[in-house]
Amino acid sequence: MDLWIEVLKKISEKISKPSFETWFVGTEVEIDNDILFVKAKNIFNADWLEERYKSLISETVRELTEKTYEIKFPSIDVSLEKETTAIQSHSQRTSYHELKNLIQEQGALITKQQEKIEELEKRIHVLEQEDTHK
Protein backbone atom coordinates (compact mmCIF):
# COMPACT_ATOMS: atom_id res chain seq x y z
CA MET A 1 0.00 0.00 0.00
CA ASP A 2 1.38 3.41 -1.00
CA LEU A 3 0.34 5.05 2.27
CA TRP A 4 2.35 2.53 4.30
CA ILE A 5 5.41 3.10 2.11
CA GLU A 6 5.16 6.83 2.86
CA VAL A 7 4.62 6.15 6.57
CA LEU A 8 7.68 3.90 6.65
CA LYS A 9 9.74 6.51 4.83
CA LYS A 10 8.84 9.19 7.39
CA ILE A 11 9.39 6.87 10.36
CA SER A 12 12.79 5.83 9.00
CA GLU A 13 13.80 9.49 9.16
CA LYS A 14 12.74 9.75 12.81
CA ILE A 15 14.28 6.64 14.40
CA SER A 16 17.65 4.89 14.23
CA LYS A 17 18.37 2.66 11.25
CA PRO A 18 18.87 -0.48 13.41
CA SER A 19 15.54 0.10 15.18
CA PHE A 20 13.76 0.70 11.90
CA GLU A 21 15.25 -2.42 10.31
CA THR A 22 14.49 -4.54 13.36
CA TRP A 23 10.91 -3.48 13.96
CA PHE A 24 9.48 -2.03 10.75
CA VAL A 25 11.06 -3.92 7.85
CA GLY A 26 8.70 -6.71 6.80
CA THR A 27 5.58 -5.08 8.21
CA GLU A 28 2.45 -4.72 6.12
CA VAL A 29 -0.65 -2.64 6.57
CA GLU A 30 -4.31 -3.13 5.87
CA ILE A 31 -7.02 -0.51 6.33
CA ASP A 32 -10.58 -1.45 7.20
CA ASN A 33 -12.84 1.59 7.66
CA ASP A 34 -11.10 3.67 10.34
CA ILE A 35 -8.82 0.90 11.57
CA LEU A 36 -5.26 0.58 10.36
CA PHE A 37 -3.88 -2.92 10.96
CA VAL A 38 -0.09 -2.97 11.15
CA LYS A 39 0.80 -6.59 10.49
CA ALA A 40 4.09 -7.60 12.06
CA LYS A 41 6.30 -10.62 11.36
CA ASN A 42 5.40 -12.27 14.66
CA ILE A 43 3.60 -11.66 17.93
CA PHE A 44 6.72 -10.41 19.71
CA ASN A 45 7.32 -7.85 16.96
CA ALA A 46 3.66 -6.79 17.03
CA ASP A 47 3.77 -6.29 20.81
CA TRP A 48 6.99 -4.27 20.56
CA LEU A 49 5.54 -2.00 17.86
CA GLU A 50 2.38 -1.47 19.87
CA GLU A 51 4.21 -0.70 23.12
CA ARG A 52 6.91 1.57 21.71
CA TYR A 53 5.84 2.92 18.33
CA LYS A 54 2.04 3.11 18.27
CA SER A 55 1.94 6.85 18.89
CA LEU A 56 4.65 7.52 16.28
CA ILE A 57 2.76 5.45 13.71
CA SER A 58 -0.53 7.15 14.57
CA GLU A 59 0.99 10.64 14.35
CA THR A 60 2.72 9.85 11.05
CA VAL A 61 -0.46 8.44 9.50
CA ARG A 62 -2.44 11.47 10.70
CA GLU A 63 0.24 13.80 9.29
CA LEU A 64 0.03 12.13 5.87
CA THR A 65 -3.74 11.56 5.65
CA GLU A 66 -5.13 14.29 7.89
CA LYS A 67 -7.30 11.54 9.34
CA THR A 68 -7.18 9.68 12.66
CA TYR A 69 -7.11 5.90 12.48
CA GLU A 70 -7.35 3.37 15.26
CA ILE A 71 -4.08 1.42 15.12
CA LYS A 72 -4.06 -2.35 15.76
CA PHE A 73 -1.17 -4.81 15.64
CA PRO A 74 -2.01 -8.38 14.66
CA SER A 75 0.85 -10.68 13.69
CA ILE A 76 0.91 -11.36 9.93
CA ASP A 77 -0.67 -14.78 9.94
CA VAL A 78 -1.69 -17.07 12.76
CA SER A 79 -1.82 -19.95 10.28
CA LEU A 80 1.86 -19.30 9.57
CA GLU A 81 2.56 -19.96 13.25
CA LYS A 82 0.50 -23.15 13.00
CA GLU A 83 2.55 -24.20 9.96
CA THR A 84 5.74 -23.48 11.88
CA THR A 85 4.52 -25.66 14.74
CA ALA A 86 3.67 -28.46 12.30
CA ILE A 87 7.11 -28.18 10.68
CA GLN A 88 8.80 -28.25 14.07
CA SER A 89 6.78 -31.32 15.02
CA HIS A 90 7.77 -33.04 11.76
CA SER A 91 11.38 -32.02 12.34
CA GLN A 92 11.28 -33.52 15.83
CA ARG A 93 9.87 -36.78 14.45
CA THR A 94 12.57 -36.80 11.76
CA SER A 95 15.21 -36.08 14.37
CA TYR A 96 13.90 -38.95 16.48
CA HIS A 97 14.20 -41.38 13.56
CA GLU A 98 17.63 -40.05 12.65
CA LEU A 99 18.78 -40.47 16.25
CA LYS A 100 17.30 -43.95 16.43
CA ASN A 101 19.18 -44.95 13.25
CA LEU A 102 22.37 -43.38 14.54
CA ILE A 103 22.07 -45.29 17.81
CA GLN A 104 21.53 -48.54 15.91
CA GLU A 105 24.59 -47.84 13.73
CA GLN A 106 26.66 -47.05 16.80
CA GLY A 107 25.44 -50.24 18.45
CA ALA A 108 26.55 -52.27 15.41
CA LEU A 109 29.98 -50.58 15.47
CA ILE A 110 30.35 -51.31 19.18
CA THR A 111 29.46 -54.96 18.58
CA LYS A 112 32.14 -55.20 15.85
CA GLN A 113 34.70 -53.58 18.14
CA GLN A 114 33.82 -55.99 20.95
CA GLU A 115 34.32 -58.92 18.56
CA LYS A 116 37.73 -57.53 17.55
CA ILE A 117 38.67 -57.09 21.20
CA GLU A 118 37.69 -60.69 21.95
CA GLU A 119 39.77 -61.90 18.99
CA LEU A 120 42.77 -59.86 20.16
CA GLU A 121 42.38 -61.20 23.69
CA LYS A 122 42.43 -64.76 22.30
CA ARG A 123 45.61 -63.98 20.34
CA ILE A 124 47.22 -62.45 23.42
CA HIS A 125 46.27 -65.51 25.46
CA VAL A 126 47.81 -67.81 22.80
CA LEU A 127 51.00 -65.72 22.73
CA GLU A 128 51.20 -65.76 26.52
CA GLN A 129 50.79 -69.55 26.49
CA GLU A 130 53.59 -69.90 23.92
CA ASP A 131 55.81 -67.61 25.98
CA THR A 132 55.31 -69.63 29.17
CA HIS A 133 56.26 -72.87 27.37
CA LYS A 134 59.64 -71.53 26.30
Residue 40 near residue 50, CB atoms below 8 Å: no
- Give the span between the Cα atoms of 104 and 108, in whole angstroms: 6
Residue 84 near residue 42, CB atoms below 8 Å: no
CATH superfamily of domain region 2-72: DnaA, N-terminal domain (3.30.300.180)
Residue spans of the domains in the chain: they are 2-72, 78-134
pLDDT of residue 86: 64
Q: What is the DSSP letter of 18?
A: H
Q: How far apart are the first and last CA of the chain?
A: 97
Structure confidence by residue, pLDDT tens digits, 42-89: 888 999 999 999 999 999 999 999 999 999 998 665 545 555 666 666
pLDDT of residue 41: 84
Rounded to 10°, the helix 2-14/43-65 angle is: 100
Q: Global pTM?
A: 0.56
- Give the span between the Cα atoms of 113 and 39, in whole angstroms: 58
Structure confidence by residue, pLDDT tens digits, 20-45: 999 999 999 999 999 999 999 888 89
* Bridge partners, residue 35, by sequence: 32, 70
